[in-house]
């Protein structure tokens, strides 16, 4: 985030503190509960939103060296992600081109440049090329060049690996992520390292989890036992970069802005900038690191959370590990409160009590999110 934007954010925050206000939208938004419970609506989301937009699937530091690989299945597609000998991250469908068996069964590994199918030993290199197959003569004039692994577009930004889950697509992250990509890269996250990565299954619709990160209205009440004492109540700066958004969770330290010149100050010292990258990535910027949450639909009433901290250097000492463990615990403890609330909300949806839910004017980024979903699911819409 450039210094001019940081100064402007802090000025807006100070004005809200002095006036007891917060950013607000023009109107209240009503959303049908059916969007969270209808299998047909979920199928449309998966077939459009989660196929036509770049999706965060892993972290650059998990693929630090050529030969490093991870597998990923939360998108409903079996993925093999690897760092090739060319230094680039590649994504393939984790499917052998012979009979369709899963090519790589391990969750992760390193130093591997060849992958052999466990069924009939067809072997591929890290460029996806079919190198060899037993008893090749039995396949007549098989063209090995036409039987390489199916590649998907992949790219990296601010320490995160993105995949476009379409064989015929092009992935331009500068275009897809817009000015927020430059924002994120200004925080120096590209060379940060994954710390305490977790996967958590929840009994709620994926959108409920996203919405919990797009407003500060709930912090005082839902997080009363954890992070609420750190933050001012419902004071936030919110900006739309359709389909993405940028928010500011204002800490109590921001009250000190009343006595300071704003030029040269860092926003991350007075609150947490939160970046939402449509459709399912949230990055929370902390004073000395960032925390990441990626949400994948697994059913109308189920989702999978993939999350981690991105830290600036390896935690090689007990003191360093204690520091990061403390910070990560705060993150996950607060998220657990959100997750429990999300599961409660989903049960409420199923009760029939409400036909619609209501987002207040200071919850308007949730309305932005649903507007982006509608746009993305319009026939012919592409990222």
What 3 state SS string does 217-254 have?
A: CCHHHHCCCCCHHHEEEEEEEEEEECCEEEEEEEEHHH
- How far apart are the C-alpha atoms of 351 and 331, rounded to whole Å? 31
pLDDT in tens, 141-159: 999 999 999 999 999 999 9
CB distance 333 to 224 below 8 Å: no
Domains and CATH numbers, the chain: 3-54+191-376 (3.90.380.10), 66-153 (2.102.10.10)
**79 - beta bridge partners?**
72, 93
> Which residue numbers in the chain have pLDDT < 70?
381-383
pTM for the full model?
0.95
pLDDT for the residue numbered 168: 87
Closest to 364 (Cα-Cα) out of 240, 273, 248:
240
Q: In terms of DSSP bridges, do strands 193-202 and 160-163 run parallel, antiparallel, or are they unpaired?
A: unpaired
At 313, list the tokens.
Answer: 């250097």
DSSP type of residue 116: E
> What CA–CA distance (Å, rounded) separates 340 from 381?
34
**Cβ-based neighbours of 213, under 8 Å, separated by 6 or more:** 274, 276, 282, 284, 293, 338
Q: Which residues of 250-278 are buried (b: 16+ CB within 10 A; e: fewer)?
A: bbeebeebeeeeeeebebbebbbbbbbbb
CA proximity to 359, closest of 48, 24, 16, 15: 24
pLDDT, position 331 = 94
Got the DSSP string for 131-155? EE-TTGGGGTT--GGGSSPPEE-EE
What b/e string do you get for 347-379 counting C-beta neighbours within 10 Å, with b at 16 or more? Answer: eebeeeeeeebebbebbbbbbbbbebbeebeee
C-alpha of 332 from chain center: 15
| Location of structure tokens 């036509």 | 52
Q: Where are the alpha helices (DSSP H) in 252-363?
A: 318-351
pLDDT number for residue 169: 85
């Amino acid at each position: 985030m450039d210094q001019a934007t940081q100064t402007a954010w802090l000025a807006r925050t100070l004005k809200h503190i002095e006036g007891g206000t917060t950013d607000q939208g023009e109107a209240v938004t009503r959303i049908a509960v059916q969007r969270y419970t209808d299998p047909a609506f979920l199928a449309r989301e998966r077939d459009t939103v989660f196929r036509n937009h770049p999706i965060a699937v892993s972290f650059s530091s998990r693929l630090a060296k050529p030969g490093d690989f991870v597998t990923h299945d939360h998108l409903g597609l079996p993925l093999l992600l690897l760092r090739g000998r060319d230094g680039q991250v590649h994504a393939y469908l984790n499917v052998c081109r012979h009979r369709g068996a899963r090519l790589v069964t391990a969750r992760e590994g390193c130093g591997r440049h060849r992958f052999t199918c466990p069924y009939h030993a067809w072997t591929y290199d890290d460029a996806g090329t079919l190198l060899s197959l037993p008893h090749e003569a039995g396949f007549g004039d098989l063209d090995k060049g036409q039987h390489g692994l199916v590649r998907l577009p992949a790219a990296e930004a601010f320490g995160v690996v993105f995949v476009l889950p379409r064989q015929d697509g092009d992935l331009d992250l500068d275009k897809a992520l817009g000015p927020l990509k430059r924002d994120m890269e200004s925080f120096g996250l590209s060379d940060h390292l994954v710390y305490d990565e977790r996967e958590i299954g929840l009994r709620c619709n994926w959108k409920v989890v996203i919405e919990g990160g797009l407003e500060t209205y709930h912090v005082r009440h839902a997080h009363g036992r954890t992070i609420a004492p750190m933050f001012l109540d419902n004071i936030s700066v919110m900006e739309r970069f359709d389909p993405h958004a940028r928010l500011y969770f204002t800490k109590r330290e921001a009250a000190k802005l009343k006595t300071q010149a704003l030029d040269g100050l860092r926003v991350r010292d007075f609150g947490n900038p939160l970046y939402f990258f449509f459709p399912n990535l949230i990055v929370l910027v902390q004073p000395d690191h960032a925390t990441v949450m990626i949400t994948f639909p697994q059913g109308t009433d189920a989702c999978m959370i993939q999350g981690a901290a991105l830290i600036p250097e390896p935690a090689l000492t007990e003191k360093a590990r204690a520091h990061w463990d403390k910070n990560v615990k705060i993150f996950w403890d607060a998220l657990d409160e959100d997750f429990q609330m999300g599961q409660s909300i989903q049960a409420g949806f199923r009760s029939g009590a409400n036909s619609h839910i209501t987002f207040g004017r200071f919850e308007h980024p949730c309305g932005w999110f649903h507007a982006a979903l509608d746009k993305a699911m319009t026939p012919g819409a592409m990222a």
